[in-house]
Amino acid sequence: MSGAREQFGSRIGFILAAAGSAVGIGNLVGFPVGAAKNGGGAFLLMYAIFVVAICLPVMLAEMSVGRHARKDPLGAYRDLSNNATHWKLAGWLSIITPFMIAVFYLVITVWIFGYLYEIITGDLDILANPDTFGTFINSEKIFVYMAGVVAVVYLILQGGVKEGIEKAAKLLMPTLFIMLLLLVGFVLMQDNAMKGVEFYLVPDFSKINASVINGALSQAFFSLSLGMGIMITYGSYIDKRADVPGSAKLVALTDTAVAFTAGLMILPAIFSFDPNTNPDELSESSIGMIFTFLPKIFLALQDSIGYVGASIVAAIFFLQVFFAAITSLVSIFEVPVAALMDEKDMGRKPALFVLGVLMVVLAVLCALSFGYNAFLTEFVSYAGAKKSFFDVVYDVFYDTILPLNGFLICIFVIYRWKKHNFNKALDEGAENYKGSFFEKYVDVSVGTFIPVILLLVFINTVAVKYFGHSLFG
């Protein structure tokens, strides 16, 4: 649309919105379980190093490209490369990736919303039955819940950057922090909680191998919402006076702090339910944990605090995950919306409508691919396994392509946009950054080893996922 580009109203608004994107389902469940299974404190240390040494520089690249171009990712790649065709391809990837991730993330958010609703209406006992999840995801109720989630996302996004995204983040994120702290406090008071804390924090370096390292880096990368065009798009809504490096550091810190704190909630809860839990046997998938394992743990609380008490704790947990998911969903859906608005000069509401319809159609196809429809359930097969439509979207867009997008943005800023322009853009509004050690580090790393590492992770993931072979033995 012509006219001034929308902007975040304050620095804290931008930071909360970007942190809202970064804090998602992965932080609250995937990270703690992954850490506990893969070396505890040793994993945490490695993860923290990856966040600072690899992810933060990539976040700076994304935010500064967005802020400088003041465009959606496609427009940013195009304008800063003087219309080079191959860079437009990278731009397209940065729009298609978030759109497809939004599709399957919508499906998971719908399940969370459904579980929340059913807990509030008194059905925690039903959800705690391990067979419920399978029936739940194939029931027609899903479409009602989907309408609910789509309405919430629409309501937020139609308000625009300041009145929609920023306002929602300012409300949801602090509430999420409070709920998380409440739950941590409650869980730590349960019997055997400390056993869980021990498992989470005591380092076991013998667990660290090439695939754990690869996994930790991928987890850090996607947890910070990198490679999805989000930080380019959100960066395009801040002005030249904003301090990009300072804000990015706070976003990374918030995201990591929430993931770390979530571990103090999830592991003690698991161990107080069963002090003899062997974390190696816990499911790696966040989905299994959230929808089958945790409801059982919540229900067991009824022995000490009664059914209503147990339902309240479960509801707070699901509300917290729902808030985390909504702010991520909003951020990722904003990318194609911004692209349609910028590239086709469309208004916000028509863009939301067109993309919303398309997203719902694809999300319905995903929702039907858990056994409801045979064709979608056994869509393709690779690496010796049958894959559903949902699996394909998940594998390709969530699990594979992000490091490739990260590789592309690094090469782009240093070799196409050029290092001195990238540096100048980062210096703007950032007094403390100029001449700092971190500036020198970013200067060297983004053009050298960071893209090399990201490319290796990408190639290895393709080899493992689609061909069943690992580069690292």
- Is residue 24 at the binding interface for ligand PHE, with CB under 6 A as the rule? yes
Residue with tokens 């419920």: 132
**Contacts with 434 (C-beta within 8 Å, 6 or more apart), sequence order:** 427
Count of CA atoms in the C-beta half-sphere (13 A) of 270:
27
- Tell which one of 74, 332, 339, 359 touches ligand PHE (CB under 6 A): 332
| Closest to ligand PHE by CB, 106 or 269 | 106
Q: Rounded to a whole number, what is the largest CA-CA distance in the chain?
A: 66
Residue 423: CB minimum distance to ligand PHE, A: 27
Q: Is 27 near ligand PHE (CB under 6 A)? A: yes
- For residue 450, the Cα-to-chain-centroid distance in whole angstroms is 21
Question: Nearest-CB residue to ligand PHE?
Answer: 24
* Cβ–Cβ under 8 Å, residues 466 and 401: no
User: Would you say 227 or 429 has its CB closer to ligand PHE?
Assistant: 227
How many DSSP H helices and E strands does the chain contain? 26, 2
Answer left, alpha or beta for residue 319, where phi above 0 means left and psi between -120 and 50 means alpha. alpha
In this structure, what token pair is assigned to residue 375? 């064709």
Which helix (H) or strand (E) is 382 found in, with range? Answer: strand 380-382
Name the β-bridge partners of 380.
387
User: Least separation, in Å, of the C-beta of 269 and ligand PHE?
Assistant: 19
Nearer to ligand PHE, 222 or 370 (CB): 222
Of residues 368, 270, 291, the one with CA closest to residue 116: 291
| Binder of ligand PHE out of 19, 22, 44, 402 (CB under 6 A) | 22
Query: Is 328 an interacting residue with respect to ligand PHE (CB under 6 A)?
Result: yes
Q: Closest approach of Cβ 22 to ligand PHE, in Å?
A: 5
The answer to the question of residue 401 lying near ligand PHE (CB under 6 A) is no
Find the shortest distance in angstroms from Cβ 48 to ligand PHE. 16
Q: CB-wise, 13 or 30, nearer to ligand PHE? A: 30
Provide, rounded to whole angstroms, the least separation between the CB of residue 228 and ligand PHE. Answer: 6
**Looking at 94, 254, 331, 461, which residue binds ligand PHE (CB under 6 A)?**
331
Candidate segments 50-58, 328-336, 366-374, 404-412, binder of ligand PHE by CB under 6 A: 328-336
105 binds ligand PHE (CB under 6 A): yes
Contacts for 123 with CB less than 8 Å, ≥ 6 apart: none
* Binders in 204-233 for ligand PHE, by CB under 6 A: 222-223, 225
Please enumerate in sequence order all residues whose Cβ is within 8 A of that of 291, keeping only pairs 6 or more positions apart, or say none.
Answer: 111, 115, 127, 133, 136
Size of the site for ligand PHE (CB under 6 A): 14
- Which helix (H) or strand (E) segment holds residue 111: the answer is helix 85-120
- Given 7, 15, 19, 26, the residue binding ligand PHE (CB under 6 A): 26
Q: Which residues bind ligand PHE (CB under 6 A)?
A: 21-22, 24-27, 101, 105, 222-223, 225, 328, 331-332
